[in-house]
Amino acid sequence: MLIDDSILKNEYGCGQIKNVDFPKITIETEEGQILELKITKKQKRDPIFWKSIKDIWQAGIWIPFNKKLSNLIESDWLVETNPAFA
């Protein structure tokens, strides 16, 4: 299920990467707010993650993030379908 179709859509936002300066990723939200995303230890150690982030930055792709935790969503724009919420 897409984030926009779930009851959790208010917990997620999207933004464009404005700066990548290891180990920091700065984004600008749809509302124009500048945020520094929190990066996990696993992400910090992953060179493929950083290559992907730089490619996303250069392409200007919008990425989803958790508004409360200020971190990336591992499942991208998808959320698990839970029968309790359907």
Burial of residue 79 (number of CB atoms within 10 Å: 0-12, 13-18, 19+): buried
Cα(3)–Cα(63) distance, integer angstroms: 12
Between the CA atoms of 56, 59, 64 and 68, what dihedral angle is there, to the nearest 10 degrees?
80
- Reported as a single tens digit per residue, the pLDDT across 14-71 is 899 999 999 999 999 999 999 999 999 999 999 999 999 999 999 999 999 988 888 8
Cα(50)–Cα(12) distance, integer angstroms: 22
61: helix, strand or coil: coil
pLDDT at 11: 80
pLDDT at 10: 73
pTM score above 0.85: no
